[in-house]
Chains A and B, each alone.
Chain A
Amino acid sequence: TQLLEQSPQFLSIQEGENLTVYCNSSSVFSSLQWYRQEPGEGPVLLVTVVTGGEVKKLKRLTFQFGDARKDSSLHITAAQPGDTGLYLCAGKAGGTSYGKLTFGQGTILTVHP
């Protein structure tokens, strides 16, 4: 069974601060997806990383996939209250085109004005 360890579980910061969320595994993933979920809604896909060492930027969010495709990070610069939500990483095992995702435990981010 593949596991994804996501940390930290909770993050409470002030507006303007930077933060990083980590997802680590001993297993290799063919791709890794990051989601953001707000209360009362389903997870919304932010980005997918597929290549080892890949870095993707989405405005103030920077996503990185580890060289060995076993870990990933999400860095938010100058956080804003609108960034508040549950952040989830999810990895897909290789071998098949479609497949179930293994989710991390989630990080609840609160950005205070």
Chain B
Amino acid sequence: SAVISQKPSRDICQRGTSLTIQCQVDSQVTMMFWYRQQPGQSLTLIATANQGSEATYESGFVIDKFPISRPNLTFSTLTVSNMSPEDSSIYLCSVESNAIGPPGETQYFGPGTRLLVL
């Protein structure tokens, strides 16, 4: 498995501001993903963080609102820009790699970042 940490674990922010969430993995991984989750509900994929190139965004999510960086194989950031109360959610990063499990069969999640926008 992989040990994944996220910073911050939670934050309360004012509308109109931006927050950058960090995801750190204890080993090099092939794929990193960013999800959003309302408490008690399912996960929605925001984007795939690609190392050395622009992230691949899912329908309904755009780079201007959720810029993503992935400078190396162990680290990624997600920024929630110009926040509104509707952005209040749990943001999770996940990783997948043949070094930690069969490709496509083992995706591990970080502990999440709980964001409240006032």
Residues of A within 8 A of B (CB): 6, 30-31, 33, 35, 39-45, 48, 50, 86, 88, 90, 92, 96-101, 103-106, 108
Offer 19 A-B interface pairs, CB within 8 angstroms, sorted by A.
A31-B105, A33-B105, A33-B107, A35-B109, A40-B112, A41-B111, A42-B92, A42-B109, A44-B109, A45-B106, A45-B109, A48-B105, A90-B43, A92-B104, A96-B104, A98-B30, A100-B33, A101-B43, A101-B107
Instruction: Please tell me the number of chain B residues within 8 Å of chain A, measured between CB atoms.
Output: 30
A-B contact count (CB 8 A): 69
Decide yes or no: A97 and B103 within 8 Å by CB, A43-B43, A103-B42, A104-B42 being known contacts.
yes
Asked if A105 and B42 sit within 8 Å, CB to CB, the answer is yes
Decide yes or no: A41 and B112 within 8 Å by CB, A88-B42, A98-B31, A108-B40 being known contacts.
yes
Asked if B96 and A98 sit within 8 Å, CB to CB, the answer is yes
Q: How far is the CA of A108 from the CA of B42 in the complex (A)?
A: 10
Q: How close is A52's CB to chain B, nearest CB, in angstroms? A: 15
Is the C-beta of B53 less than 8 angstroms from some C-beta in chain A? no
What residues of A have a CB within 8 angstroms of the CB of B33 in the complex? 100
What residues of B have a CB within 8 angstroms of the CB of A88 in the complex? 42-43
Decide yes or no: A100 and B48 within 8 Å by CB, A88-B42, A105-B42, A106-B40 being known contacts.
yes
Asked if B104 and A106 sit within 8 Å, CB to CB, the answer is no
Instruction: Please give 5 more A-B residue pairs, beta carbons under 8 A apart, in addition to A48-B105, A86-B40, A97-B104.
Output: A42-B92, A43-B43, A45-B106, A103-B43, A104-B42
What residues of A have a CB within 8 angstroms of the CB of B4 in the complex? 42
